Structure 1
Amino acid sequence: MVIRVRPLGAGQDVGRSCLLVSIGGKNIMFDCGMHMGYNDARRFPDFASIKRTGPYTDVIDCVIVSHFHLDHCGAIVHFSEVCGYDGPIYMTHPTKAICPILLEDYRKLTVERKGETNFFTSANIKACMKKVIAVNLHESVRVDDEIEIKAYYAGHVLGAAMFHVRVGSESVVYTGDFNMTPDRHLGAAWIDRCRPDLLITESTYATTIRDSKRNREGEFLRKIHECVEQGGKVLIPVFALGRAQELCILVETYWERLGLTVPVYFSAGLTAKANNYYKLFITWTNQKIKRTFVERNMFEFKHIKPFDRAFLDNPGPMVLFATPGMLHAGMSLDAFRKWAPNDKNMVILPGYCVAGTVGNKVLAGHKQIEMPDRARTVIDVRLSVQNLSFSAHADAKGIVQLIRHAEPRNVMLVHGEKAKMAFLKAKIISEIGIPCFDPANGATVTIETAHPISVSVPPNYVLDSVLDATRQRRNAAEMGLPDEAASASLTPQQALRRDAERDASELLEELYRSKRVRSVPGLPIQSTTVRGVLVMKENEPLRLVHASDVTSHDNTATSDEVEFHHSIALLFVSQMPFAAIVESLRGSLQALDSAILETSPANDTEKLSWLVSNAIRVSLNEHDVEVSWTAKHHTLGERVAHILADALDEMAVECAQMSSS
């Protein structure tokens, strides 16, 4: 079986996110966005590559929209009402509530102010939204008999979701835009360890690892304060919901603490709308806001007032939060046009600006910029430009964190810049060790999805097989078989490693026979073939057993071989009972821990643990000391256990002598 993915937008690019995924014989479209850097047909995804002409309902089984930003939902009305898609559209409840309002605002801007005629209408928006099916977080929703979808919290904006889609035995996770760091009003993204065949993730900040958020916030407030103290105006372009609320809370708190009187404004009407949405969808905010919302609504600002267009020419300092965030239209562009020629003023761009927008040109350092109006007015840019990232996108660390948690078999990067995506792709392949793809728009990636069959095997049977294999390798070397001849050319370091492996195999057998070894998931061991009888029964998991363990009821059994690579691992444990000296030892170790870490002693008095190396842990339990190590560290683990055992013996003798005296 295979999964095919074709980006219709956001392939090695940011803007007009739209992915066509073919999985299990079904075609699913993830997001249907608009590129804010274009004012012609290029603003929409390449729908013609799916089918020359509509309708598209016979080739697309469903559309899933991750959140309400226009680069993810802006083309859904065009696709539905102009191109003729009549199938189901899935999004969360907040996205369904906010999406039509932002679409209508953009329609008014495009048609009524810019004079475009070939654009969707208000009636189109209403008709499209009737096709939308709202979903709850963590709720499994059946699209049809084969497609099942589940939404997870993405933390990017109110209502943003990651989607896990399963068709038969195959599955895909699409992250949309997500944020792994909680902020003042939203929590961090979270998803089950769902192990999909493919995880498709945004990569907006593929090469960025952000510095301290506290430092950025301090610099943000300091630059605003310095500018207004000099009599300048500060423009902060934001989108209506998301970073706007985050930064407003920050400025509100700062103004209140310092008792500042310089006026702070937000684009008229949007503050009230945002307030209503956060009241309605309070369960989507972070824990602090949920807990305090009844007593104090954090979104009712004392110092931030609605802005009137007439204020643009007011003398004196002010701070203005204005939409949209990329300076491509609206109040933020109008304010920029007015204030850009004055070097006393400042613009702070807190988010990403796609290529082609005025915001992108400002960040690139252009000193003259052509306005996207009919007159093509060119303005001089003399104001101070600051780029302080408060973007609600995951950075490179967050992307890798999500990948490691979800444990996909393959990864695909979208929604990013080509060179930066290539860097992150190489990092994922080398550090995580799974295939990674970064297709361009229009390119199709085919991913094979062969699934392993889960087989239940008794742990003792696996251990016996591993012991047999290690004994055979050791005996073959001692008898001078081909492996022994090759050892003559070993370097001293390689010879030491060979001897350590032999010691490890002997230790493995000793520990196993003394019942001091147990199996645990998640740590790799050397591949070993386990031979036995594969038992298959209806409504039961497959079992691999020794031939002598086959019962008369296992009449459907058949001989087979199963090879284990990363599914079984061994953890060796040596427990030393020294109840008499545990309390004394605990105090000494806590004091040592405190001295090394320069912190107060640990409060956990039930169990203390120290990581001696990458895979050796020493734990102090209530009545004993425990040393545990992985299969890769047999020799070192044994040495640590012996050294600690000798030390404990000496301590026990000393304690006994002190007691007798």
Structure 2
Amino acid sequence: MQIRFLGGAREVGRSAILVNDRLLLDYGMQSGTPPQFPVDSVDPDAVVASHGHLDHVGLLPALLSGDRRPPIHWTPPTRDLTRLLATDTLKLQGMAPGDHHKWNDRGGRYDCPFTHTEVARLGEVSETHDYEESFDAAGHEVTFFNAGHIPGSAHVLVDDGDTRLLYTADFNTEDQRLLSGTTARPDADIVLCESTYADVTRPDRATVEEGFARSVTQTIHEGGTVVVPAFAIGRTQEAMLVCDAHDVPCYVDGMGVAVTRRFRETPGFLRDPDAFGRACGHARFVDASTRNGQRRRIAEKQTAIVTTAGMLAGGPAMTYVPAIAGNPQHKVAFTGYQVEGTPGRELLETGSAELDGRHRRVAAQVESHDFSAHADRDGLLSFLDEYRGSQVLVNHGDRCADFASELRGDGYDARAPELGADIRV
């Protein structure tokens, strides 16, 4: 089996793996100005998408330019989320129907990776599959297994007749309220394993949840408001479920509202659809057309406000956080990792950040709760323990080579391919 690493090797972002020059696993982008895309050009016979996060599916519409129409295989939630993300990408770049490029605000010019035309074509090439339902893709037998990361996320097992490759993609071994942790361990000769949190050991989820609920409840009871910046996909819905379970009043704003609607349409991919329905009934959703003046009035209520963006890089959070910033009675409670260089990271470390174009000192309390949907070090090692006789290829992490070296020291046949590597296994 030939495996070519076009993205996601020794890095987090722009995941793209080409198998036997025919089958493409994921095709993501790394957000930024300009964004980063997978290396080299690619023209696959078929595409398999593991899950609906930007760094795994953000560039998929670009594969449908010109006469190219490779089928895209995914679960129903991944299909829905990919289209939602693509539409949001066009919106953020100021792309109107018929536009093919934009001037960036720093004076440069870069090509938009796709247009509304390519996004519309996603429906033409879509082929959806359930978990453990094998299908053919570019001459390979492919099977999805529940990865426990976000609704619809999948481990991807690829069998070319000689070799079985398990592409773990992003996964979680611990139960969340939204999803159960993955228990799938299909036989494989090669395991291409993510390593995002290979150096992190987290408290169990129940402990994290209790700490979050206790902190938010205390602030509300003392007359404060809690802004909960959260990623739209997965984290917003987990926060909703936690708020409902602990009777914390909450509003939900931003892209997470649309994502929540999509998840309600595919209940079979949720851990507990009834609990999810109750959480939706408990939350108050803010309409996308709501004006910032109304948002500032919501910020005056004693409540939790779950809102994008999770790292304060835009979205309604740019109204809510400034609205509570001057009062130490209020609180900003992050729910996920804050990447270096983001306003969220700066706020955590310094108590100030650039918010909506203005650098502000924040008097409100700031704290972080780790609701990550990735396996931590213990989860990765417990998962890989089932594959001691397989070859392990480590990707999707900031310290892939170090983790591969640690695995070799424990008896694994492990390595961390570099970006652009083309290997035969």
* Closer, same or farther: CA 103–338 of 1 in aligned 2, 3 Å: farther
1:266 aligned to 2:260?
no
For 1:266, the aligned partner's letter is V
Q: Distance in 2 between matches of 1:174 and 1:17?
A: 11
Q: Structure 1 regions of 5+ residues with no counterpart? A: 51-55, 449-661
Decide whether the 8 Å contact of 2:226 with 2:305 is kept in 1. Answer: yes
RMSD: 2.9
Question: Counterparts in 2 of 1:360-509, with a 5 A limit?
Answer: 360-363=345-348, 365-370=349-354, 376-407=357-388, 409-418=390-399, 421-431=400-410, 433-442=411-420, 444=421, 446-448=423-425
Amino acid at match of 1:31: D
> Residues of 2 paired with 1:167 and 1:313: CA distance?
56
CA distance in 2, matches of 1:342, 1:253: 28
Say yes or no: does 1:302 pair with 2:317. Answer: no
**For residue 207 of structure 2, what is the amino acid of its counterpart?**
N
Choose the corresponding residue for 2:118, options 124, 143, 148. 124
Distance 1:445 1:180 in 2: 30
Normalising by structure 2, we get a TM-score of 0.86
Give 1:311's aligned residue: 294
The structure whose residues are more often helix, as a share, is 1
- The 8 Å contact of residues 155 and 167 in structure 2, kept in 1 or not, is answered as yes
Contact 2:3 2:17 in 1 (8 A): no
Q: Name which one, 1 or 2, has greater alpha-carbon Rg.
A: 1
Separation in structure 1 between the aligned mates of residue 60 and residue 409 of structure 2, nearest angstrom: 37
Q: Does 1:110 align with 2:102?
A: no
Which runs of at least 4 in structure 1 moved beyond 6 Å after TM superposition? 112-115
**CA–CA distance in 1 between the matches of 2:208 and 2:226?**
17
**SS of 1:324 mapped into structure 2:** coil
1:158 to partner: Cα distance = 0.8
What is the distance in 2 between the residues matched to 1:28 and 1:390?
A: 33
Q: 1:429 to 1:414 in 2, by over 3 A?
A: same
1:357 alignment partner, one of 342, 345, 350: 342
**1:206 positional shift:** 0.6
SS, match of residue 175 in structure 1: strand
User: Kindly, what percent of the aligned residue pairs are identical?
Assistant: 26
Give the whole-Å Cα distance in 1 for the aligned partners of 2:389 and 2:85: 34
* Equivalent AA in structure 1 for residue 403 of structure 2: L
Task: Give a deviation string over 1:521-545, Cα, whole Å, max 9, x none.
Answer: xxxxxxxxxxxxxxxxxxxxxxxxx
Q: Does 1:226 align with 2:218?
A: yes
State the alpha-carbon separation in 2 of the partners of residues 10 and 446 from structure 1.
15
1:357-382 Cα shifts (integer Å, max 9, x gaps): 3334334x1444345x7xx5333344
Bigger relative contact order, structure 1 or 2 (CA pairs below 8 A, ≥6 apart) = 2
Structure 1 residues 232 and 422, CA, compared in 2 at 3 Å: closer, same or farther? farther
Given the superposition, is the C-alpha separation of residues 299 and 121 from structure 1 closer, same or farther in structure 2, using an over 3 Å criterion?
A: farther
Number of aligned residue pairs: give it: 409
Q: CA deviation at 1:247?
A: 1.7
Q: Tell me which residue corresponds to 1:321.
A: 306
Contact 1:370/1:378, CA 8 A, preserved across alignment: yes
Q: Which residue of 1 aligns with 2:99?
A: none
Give 1:232's aligned amino acid: G
Letter paired with 1:265: Y
Q: Could you say which residue in structure 2 is the equivalent of 1:89?
A: 72
- Residues 8-65 of structure 1 show CA distances to partners (whole Å, capped at 9, x for unaligned) of 33222222222334x3xx34322111213x121x43222xx24xxxxx43xx232221
User: Aligned letter for 2:213?
Assistant: L
- 1:200-245 CA-to-partner distances (Å, cap 9, x unmatched) read 1111111122213222111101221232334333221222331222
Q: Distance in 2 between matches of 1:123 and 1:14?
A: 29
Cα distance, 1:110–1:269 mapped onto 2, change above 3 Å? closer
For 2:142, the equivalent position in structure 1 comes to: 149
Change (3 A) 1:165 1:298: same
Match of 1:135 among 101, 117, 129: 129
1:178, CA displacement in angstroms? 0.8
Structure 1 pair 354/44, CA: closer, same or farther in 2 (3 Å)?
farther
Report the secondary structure of 2:90's partner residue. helix
**Counterparts of 2:13 and 2:24, CA distance in 1:** 16
How is 1:66-85 mapped onto 2 (pairs within 5 angstroms)?
Answer: 66-81=50-65, 85=68
Deviation at 1:112, TM superposition (A): 6.2
Q: Supply the AA of the counterpart residue of 1:345.
A: H
Aligned to 1:204: 196
Question: What are the residue-to-residue correspondences of 1:161-172 with 2, within 5 Å?
Answer: 161-172=154-165
Once the two structures are TM-superposed, the CA of residue 148 in structure 1 deviates from its matched residue by 1.5
Counterpart CA distance in 2 for 1:223 and 1:112 is 41
- For residues 495-644 of structure 1, the aligned pairs below 5 Å read none
The 2-side partners of 1:85 and 1:209 are apart by 44
Look up the SS of the partner of 1:310 in the other structure.
Answer: helix
User: Equivalent residue for 2:207?
Assistant: 215
Are the aligned partners of 2:174 and 2:205 in contact in 1 as well (CA < 8 Å)?
A: no
2:23 corresponds in structure 1 to: 28
Partner of residue 347, structure 1 = 332
Cα drift, residue 66 of structure 1: 0.8
Are the structure 2 counterparts of residues 445 and 352 from structure 1 closer, same or farther at C-alpha, using a change threshold of 3 Å? farther
> CA distance change for structure 1 residues 20 and 329 in 2, over 3 Å: closer, same or farther?
farther
Contact 1:235–1:347 (CA under 8 A) maintained in structure 2: yes
Query: Would the aligned equivalents of 2:77 and 2:263 in 1 still touch at CA under 8 Å?
Result: no
